[in-house]
Amino acid sequence: MTNRTLSVIVSALALASLAGAADKPATAGRPNIVFILADDIGYGDLGCYGATKIQTPRCDKLAKEGLRFTDAHSPAAVCTPTRYAFMTGQYAWRKKGTGILPGIAGLIVDPSRTTVPSMLKRAGYATGVVGKWHLGLGTTPTDYNIEIKPGPLEVGFDYAWLLPATGDRVPCVWVEDRRVVNLDPADPIKLDYSVKRGEPRSFVNGIPRIGGQTGGKAALWKDDEIADVITAKAIAFIEKNKDKPFFLYLPTHDIHVPRVPNARFRGTSQAGVRGDTVHSFDWTVGQVVDALDRLKLTERTLLIVTSDNGGVLDTNGPDSKNSGTVETNNGHAHNGPLRGNKGSAYEGGTRVPFIVSWPGRVKPGACDALICHVDMLASLAALTGQTLDADAGPDSFDVLPALLEGKAGRDHLVEQGNVLALRQGPWKLIPAPPAGKKRPARSGSGTQLYNLGDDIGETRNLADQNEQRVKEMTALLQRIQQQGKSRP
């Protein structure tokens, strides 16, 4: 045997022992975790959920090789409360001030609470958030000209690259950790949220926004580069932390209004600009997957792709205002067979795509378990061997057996639309509004009970034939509200 042959054998043995070490439970229990949260992508927007006028090959491939959930829910039917509940494991309706926030709102997550990132940080993870925050920053009204805190770094993240609120409202600047990126101190940012709904909006980058912004010119983002910037920063975070377990929370701005896809996505779908931004989202997912592959992290990474609420076809998007045309989607059903849209208590408000990928660990297939983003705290704690304090994540169920093996999920779930609804098995209750109160028309009238098992479109109200079930579910919903927690 030559020295060279011997050294090849020794290297091979060393590699084999390294590979063996990676299989041991201690490290297998701490995979990297990437949680990609789309904005306003509906149940029917991805190819793997039935879209035909929009092509999403990267998400479809993940779904084919991983687990595709058909009854997964965002905690709420709009942005801020969903993000709050995901972060804390607490239903957002339990806490005042968790509605859709303006860009001058202070942080709404109590830094003393256990959060997904603080829990994972305790477990030894590097934690980062890249993308749309919309949980408030600093103290109201946020001053973007100074060090901004508290913010993500105070609730468990080591690193943050943020779009502070949403693209349709000011400020239109990036925040990295606690500072606005490229801010010229001689041109301070001034924000004005005194404009009321219905009054003419102010324009930034030629696009109408909620709230006005003057100053901060050098720091303004470019709308058609938002997806590219978020993707690049996400990949940079992965590269920087490739040698330790990391948690990346990646809330994209796609496909919220203003929908300004990069030119390379314009006109690529058959479902209008809205469809083009779904293509942009799929590209982002693909870039992240490619980065994980390139860095040989794929088999050590739990990747989840989902959305923060159901889809909606906005008619008030800047795209339509600027062009003078009403946004069209060419008949594409953004929520598939579901009733209702973003904001609604019907399934179209919160039932969203949810794909889990972890090659070698996740059992491929489809899964009809009832799960919710509010469950991530307890489930990721279980995955990483963490015990939650009694007051942490009061509404977070450990649904890890569903996430990894397609087993059963929760037995009930409160769906937060513009009213609270309750799911229990296939049953869905939208209770009658309290006496003297009117309910938004979008969520129907009177007491509604549907059996989603054979009526996913919520077309047949069975409340009258099932008085006992209505009574029991109404009582359960009230109990969950009064008890302050629902976690078993």
Stretch that binds Ca ion, among 40-48, 128-136, 189-197, 410-418 (CB under 5 A): 40-48
CA pair distance 162, 152, nearest whole angstrom: 9
**398 is a site residue for Ca ion (CB under 5 A):** no
Q: What angle do CA 137, 141, 142 make, to 5 degrees?
A: 35
**257 is a site residue for Ca ion (CB under 5 A):** no
**45 is a site residue for Ca ion (CB under 5 A):** no
Three-state SS annotation for 3-53: HHHHHHHHHHHHHHHHHHHHHCHHHHCCCEEEEEEECCCCCCCCHHHCCCC
Stretch that binds Ca ion, among 79-87, 218-226, 265-273, 410-418 (CB under 5 A): 79-87
* Sign for the pseudo-dihedral over CA of 373, 377, 381, 382: negative
Q: How far is the CB of 253 from Ca ion (least distance, A)?
A: 10
**308 is a site residue for Ca ion (CB under 5 A):** yes
**37 is a site residue for Ca ion (CB under 5 A):** no
**252 is a site residue for Ca ion (CB under 5 A):** no
Task: Output phi, psi for 64, to 5 deg.
Answer: -65, -40
Q: How far is the CB of 359 from Ca ion (least distance, A)?
A: 29
Name which of 230, 297, 223, 218 is nearest 257 in CA terms: 223
CA pair distance 258, 320, nearest whole angstrom: 9
Stretch that binds Ca ion, among 36-44, 90-98, 258-266, 271-279 (CB under 5 A): 36-44
CA pair distance 189, 141, nearest whole angstrom: 12
CB 438 within 8 A of CB 452: no
Sheet containing 448-451: order of strands: 412-416, 420-424, 427-430, 448-451
**39 is a site residue for Ca ion (CB under 5 A):** yes
Q: Of 39 and 314, which has the nearer Cβ to Ca ion?
A: 39
**276 is a site residue for Ca ion (CB under 5 A):** no
Stretch that binds Ca ion, among 71-79, 156-164, 392-400, 408-416 (CB under 5 A): 71-79
**Among residues 79, 163, 234, 374, the one that binds Ca ion under rule CB under 5 A:** 79
Q: How far is the CB of 344 from Ca ion (least distance, A)?
A: 13
**Among residues 88, 118, 252, 309, the one that binds Ca ion under rule CB under 5 A:** 309
**168 is a site residue for Ca ion (CB under 5 A):** no
Joined tokens for residue 124: 């030894």
Give the C-alpha distances (Å, rounded to integers) separating 253 from 258, 311, 321.
9, 14, 19
**165 is a site residue for Ca ion (CB under 5 A):** no
Q: Of 158 and 314, which has the nearer Cβ to Ca ion?
A: 314
Stretch that binds Ca ion, among 302-310, 348-356, 365-373, 467-475 (CB under 5 A): 302-310
| Total residues binding Ca ion (CB under 5 A) | 5
At residue 434, what is the residue type? P
Applying CB under 5 A, which residues contact Ca ion?
Answer: 39-40, 79, 308-309
